[in-house]
Amino acid sequence: MNVPSLDAAAIGWPITRLGVSFFPVYLATNGLPAIETGEGSGLVVDELDEPSVNALRVRNPGDKPVLVVEGEHFLGAKQNRAVNVTVLVPARRDLEIPVSCLERGRWGRRRAARRDEAFTATRVRARKNAGVAASMRDSGSREGDQGAVWREVDEMLNRASVQSATAAAADMKRAAHSGQPSRAATIEKLAARGPLPGQCGIVVVHGRRVTAMDLFGAPHLLAAHWSALIRSHLLESPVATGKPSATAVLKVVRRFASARAQETPGVGLGVEQRVADDRVSGHALTLNGTLVHAAFFTGSPRA
């Protein structure tokens, strides 16, 4: 089965900042039920009773499903973690969700978990997704390759000359802001701007190279994660050059939409779909055949 809704997606004019272009994505009427997400959702995140590096417990105390998005970065607990797959947590339910560690040097006293102000950095997120895809294909596990994620975090910190006592990806924010007030101001201005009316997603382009997409089934879901997504894509400066092309963006989106998807039941509500070929790889969560969230990354995670 193919990823739904994307074949009718429309692309708008981009916003370009610091060498990164963000193309807005619009969907036709999608018909999702009421879903909460982000800071206002009431979701509670904690360690398992017997803590594990690769899992966290989430509790939804509310009357509506809560969307936890792949790539969300939770700080605290016994170490910082990134969510491995998008999960729709049913109302008034607890779930164990798969995560990857983004702080290799700490396994300490439990602290309250909170969302970081940025999603997982794009390169690290792509590497994490590649490992999860391989695990799903080979064993049905959503754990991924923790060693590869740690190496990607180390390389990212080294490229930016960031010293981190616990090898924490969250410390990368210092490189994006420290000593560069104009860069920091540009990032925060765009983060505060919010999406356009009706916008459901973003496609990210470095120079002329399409690198990633996040698309949600309704505008309010994107709005809740806009600032964190923008910050994550601007943590590192791109090296690609050239002029972004809406035609190229639409071509990659259509390729992802038409690719054959492997289906598995979701961790919570809905069905996971996973796509991988030599040019684009990603995943989607659908509910009763309707898109809730989709994301893709192009090329090698190291490209």
Using one digit for the tens of pLDDT, what is the confidence trace for 62-84?
999 999 999 999 999 999 999 99
In this predicted structure, the answer to whether residue 109 has a pLDDT above a threshold of 80 is: no
Q: Which of 129, 131, 154 is nearest to 144 (CA)?
A: 131
DSSP, collapsed to helix, strand or coil, labels residue 151 as: helix
Alpha carbons 136 and 262: distance in angstroms, whole number = 10
In this predicted structure, the answer to whether residue 31 has a pLDDT above a threshold of 90 is: no
State the pLDDT confidence band at 241, using cuts at 50, 70 and 90.
confident
CB 193 within 8 A of CB 19: no
In tens, the pLDDT along 142-186 reads 998 999 999 999 999 999 889 999 999 999 987 666 667 888 899
CB 288 within 8 A of CB 84: no
Alpha carbons 175 and 157: distance in angstroms, whole number = 9
In tens, the pLDDT along 278-287 reads 788 899 999 9
In this predicted structure, the answer to whether residue 288 has a pLDDT above a threshold of 60 is: yes
In tens, the pLDDT along 190-234 reads 999 999 999 999 999 999 999 999 999 999 999 999 999 999 999
Backbone angles phi, psi at 269, to 5 degrees: -75, 155
Any domain includes 1? no
The set of residues, in sequence order, having a beta carbon less than 8 Å from that of 294 and lying 6+ positions away, is 3, 6, 201, 213, 214, 215, 256, 282, 283, 284, 285
pLDDT at position 289, please? 92
Alpha carbons 114 and 292: distance in angstroms, whole number = 23
In this predicted structure, the answer to whether residue 302 has a pLDDT above a threshold of 50 is: no
Q: Return the structure tokens found at 158.
A: 């080294």
Q: How far is CA 101 from CA 106, 110, 125, 156, 180, in A?
A: 10, 14, 12, 15, 28
Poorest-confidence range of 26-35, 189-198, 223-232, 265-274? 26-35
Burial label for 72, CB within 10 Å (0-12, 13-18, 19+), is buried
- Amino acid (one-letter) located at 8: A
Which letter, b or e, does each residue of 226-247 get, where b requires 16 or more Cβ atoms within 10 Å of its Cβ? bbbbbbbbbbbebeeeeebeee
Q: Return the structure tokens found at 78.
A: 């016994």
Q: Return the structure tokens found at 209.
A: 């190279």
pLDDT at position 301, please? 46
In tens, the pLDDT along 5-22 reads 788 899 999 999 999 999
Share of the chain above pLDDT 90, in %: 78
pLDDT at position 57, please? 97
Any domain includes 142? yes
Question: Which one is predicted more confidently, 211 or 303?
Answer: 211
Q: Which of 215, 238, 6 is nearest to 122 (CA)?
A: 238
> How confident is the model over 269-295, as a mean pLDDT?
93
In this predicted structure, the answer to whether residue 45 has a pLDDT above a threshold of 80 is: yes
pLDDT at position 286, please? 96
Any domain includes 303? no
Any domain includes 215? yes
- Average pLDDT of the chain is 92
The total number of structural domains in the chain stands at 1
**Full residue range of the structural domain in which residue 141 is found:** 6-298
